[in-house]
Amino acid sequence: SPARVHVARTMSADYVSQGGAYGAVYGTLAVFLCISLAIGYRFLRSATQDSDQYLTARNSQGIVSLSLSFFATGAGAWVLFTVPEASIIGGPVALAGYTLSTLVPIAIFGWIGPIMRKHLPFGCTFSDYVQLRYGSPGNVYCTLV
């Protein structure tokens, strides 16, 4: 009917064209890029720390803060969704498995971390430690693994 055709034409006129949509997206990205660069440049000029302090934050955090950070990084969102599901399906054994898989890496890191710091006090990454301890062949192997 003619009324339906008219409604369809007026509804399609409300949409943004493809070029307008691309312009809005790229324009928004450009504005936020400029704002981010300006803020970064302002903080860069007022920075009092060197690159080592910025990258490592060496000796600035306590054990609780670091442990929670590593837990959140390693566990992620699966803690919220997978553990309850596995506990319902697999019972206490599945819950114990997920608990161990979350805590064992943190415990290993807590055990190995001081050893790495003793041997490489100004190192930044695990790759730095492997390079110092085993040389380039060990570092290449570690990178490939």
Write the pLDDT tens digit of every residue in 55-79. 777 777 777 887 778 777 777 777 7
Residue 110 CA to residue 32 CA, distance in Å, equals: 40
Closest CA to 116 of 129, 134, 135, 104: 129
The pLDDT assigned to 33 comes to: 97
* Residue 5: band (very low, low, confident or very high) from pLDDT cuts 50, 70, 90: low
Q: 125 with 58: CB under 8 angstroms?
A: no
Which of 132 and 22 is assigned the larger pLDDT?
Answer: 22
pLDDT digits (tens, 9 = 90+) for 83-129: 788 888 888 998 898 888 888 888 888 888 788 778 777 777 778 88
Residue 73 CA to residue 144 CA, distance in Å, equals: 22
Residue 125 CA to residue 117 CA, distance in Å, equals: 10
Residue 32 has pLDDT above 90, yes or no: yes
pTM > 0.95: no
Amino acid at residue number 69: S
